[in-house]
Structure 1
Amino acid sequence: MGLNNEERKPRFLCLHGFRTSAEILRKQVCKWPESVLEKLDLVYLDAPFPAEGKSDVEGIFPPPYYEWFQFNPVFTEYKNFDECLAYIEDFMVKEGPFDGLLGFSQGAILSAALPGLQAKGLALTKVPKIKFVIIIGGAKFASPTLAEKAYSSLIQCQSVHFLGETDFLKPHGTTLLESFVEPVVIHHPKGHTVPRLDEKGLETMLDFVKRIQIVVACDGPVIATEEKEIHL
């Protein structure tokens, strides 16, 4: 039996970090309070390519580990990027619809760029418009060609960005804010990680969730799918 409009939860496709996995991101996000998690429908996806090298989470989280695409030492050239986009879109077609994207690290870089690429008809052309993004430890793509395509116009979807005080990507995540219309920011004292939510962060996150719930409720009827976590 489907949920009606008012009860439908905002549905997010969750993209994990470099050389980690869907299951690892699920464990990281589950540190958030139930008051947040119970209001979102989170679907976790493994990246398409097995890790080609050592993972930074070895000894912390068990394998297998995956990566979305590969890159050169200065992050300006990418391998298997088109294949990555096609893989994500295919999953969204089969398992959607999705309202938004949640990403951490490499998954956050992807999640932040995809709405801009979609708006220009360069990605996710077969699925509904991405309305929301949750960006944790994100950054812009460094390739000038890709950056021009993804960020040349302000990204219109509602967004919340987590910036860690000691995260090596914080300067890049701060620059990313300039590409979004009215971004919401949650600061935390940690490094490159999915942080727990302190009192202020929780208040900000709950306010963001409340606002996107209103958008989802106004979107019109959908065929709701059973809540599930999907691992490929």
Structure 2
Amino acid sequence: MHVTSAAEGRAPPTGAATAPRRPRLLALHGWRTSAAVLAQQLQRSGLGTALEEVAELDYLNGPHPARGPPTPDVQRAFQPPFFEWWDAVQDAASVAKVVRYEGVQETMSLIRAELHRAAASGRPVGGLVGFSQGAMLAGLVMALQERSQAGFQDVPPLRCAVLIGGGLIRDPAFGYLYAGGCDNGGSGGGHSSSSSSSSSSTVAQDAAQVPPLSTGVPVASATATQRPLTPPPPPQLTQPQTPLFSSPSCHLIGSADLLRHNSEKLVRAFRQPLVLRHDQGHVVPRLNWEQRRQLTDFLRANLVPTNAPH
């Protein structure tokens, strides 16, 4: 799986041989888009320029070809192929509307492999940046590493994450990550003990219909294709009520984003989050000058090692 870098194809600047290299951020695209789409989204919004002041961006495609079309806005603006990190599927027999992420294990394997590959090359990934489903994935990876789970304890530590239009993971398979900081009413729902059907219904993905491209670059909304679930479901996933994770995180949330409430739940899972709010929808937003400064200061404070040369 090729990872594209924002620095690819550029001539080295004068003095590059002695200049310290920037730390690396692994960039994770939204649902049913691609690494190339995210690179364009970041550049169009100006966020790419802000991030590249501090870090080198590497873009990774999801392991699963899109199982359906993206929204018309995405189709008009970008060229295929499109990918996804998982497919959110709801059990029709579950009264509590359990949502499972089909394909998430392959995604975890891909992310682990890329982090190992980068470390072996001598250029380890220092942090994650993600949009929409990619931001949900980035938040999940940070939580798994902090809990020393799923093999992420064996790669160099990720120092921080920038989560754009992210949200709390809804698959109850990961509910254990939030144990001890949750109430009894979950955003992801529990499961019905009487459910024995293997059929599934379609469920809205972790994305939403958003304003046109003039206000930002949107990501898709659609429903998942029908396919069987694998019982029994894991423990109930609930919403964190007290902060659980100490990993530095920066959250970009739009007041017009239909998914902003789930983004707020993700914010509450982190102890000291930096939250940058904007008036746009579910897009890679344009930030004002002060917000861009806060973002680059966040990255410099958390992504760059304290013993790095200046």
TM-score range, shorter chain: 0.7 to 0.9
Whole-angstrom CA distance in 1 between matches of 2:128 and 2:160: 7
Q: What is the Cα deviation at residue 51 of structure 1?
A: 0.4
> Is 1:149 aligned to residue 166 of structure 2?
no
Q: 1:151 to 1:179 in 2, by over 3 A?
A: farther
CA-based RMSD of the aligned residues comes to 2.4
Task: Out of 146-155 and 45-54, give the one that drifted further.
Answer: 146-155
> Is 1:89 aligned to residue 112 of structure 2?
yes
Asked whether the equivalents of residues 164 and 170 of structure 1 are also in contact (C-alpha less than 8 Å), the reply is yes
Asked whether the equivalents of residues 14 and 45 of structure 1 are also in contact (C-alpha less than 8 Å), the reply is yes
Aligned length: 218
Q: What is aligned with 2:280?
A: 190
> Is 1:20 aligned to residue 43 of structure 2?
no
Matches within 5 A, 1:33-182: 34-56=49-71, 57-73=74-90, 76-96=99-119, 97-123=124-150, 124-149=152-177, 154-182=244-272
Whole-angstrom CA distance in 2 between matches of 1:182 and 1:152: 18
Equivalent AA in structure 1 for residue 272 of structure 2: E
Asked whether the equivalents of residues 72 and 78 of structure 1 are also in contact (C-alpha less than 8 Å), the reply is yes
Q: What is the Cα deviation at residue 63 of structure 1?
A: 0.8
Whole-angstrom CA distance in 2 between matches of 1:3 and 1:209: 24
Q: Deviations over 1:43-98 (max 9, x none)?
A: 00000110000112111111110011112146721212111100111111112311
Q: What is the Cα deviation at residue 146 of structure 1?
A: 0.8
Question: Whose helix proportion is higher, 1 or 2?
Answer: 1
Task: Out of 15-24 and 68-77, give the one that drifted further.
Answer: 68-77
Q: State percent identity of aligned pairs.
A: 32
Higher relative contact order by CA 8 Å / sep ≥ 6: 1 or 2?
Answer: 1
Equivalent AA in structure 2 for residue 42 of structure 1: L
Which sections of structure 2, spanning at least 5 residues, go unmatched? 1-14, 91-96, 182-243
Task: Out of 203-212 and 144-153, give the one that drifted further.
Answer: 144-153
SS of the counterpart of 2:105? helix
SS of the counterpart of 2:154? coil
Whole-angstrom CA distance in 2 between matches of 1:152 and 1:89: 26
Question: Of residues 1, 6, 9 in structure 1, which corresponds to 2:22?
Answer: 9
Equivalent AA in structure 2 for residue 110 of structure 1: L
Asked whether the equivalents of residues 116 and 151 of structure 1 are also in contact (C-alpha less than 8 Å), the reply is no
Q: What is aligned with 2:298?
A: 208
Whole-angstrom CA distance in 2 between matches of 1:208 and 1:151: 28
Which sections of structure 1, spanning at least 5 residues, go unmatched? 221-232
Whole-angstrom CA distance in 2 between matches of 1:46 and 1:185: 27
Structure 1 segments (4+ residues) deviating >3 Å: 1-4, 33-36, 150-153
TM-score by length of 1: 0.85
TM-score by length of 2: 0.65
Asked whether the equivalents of residues 70 and 80 of structure 1 are also in contact (C-alpha less than 8 Å), the reply is yes
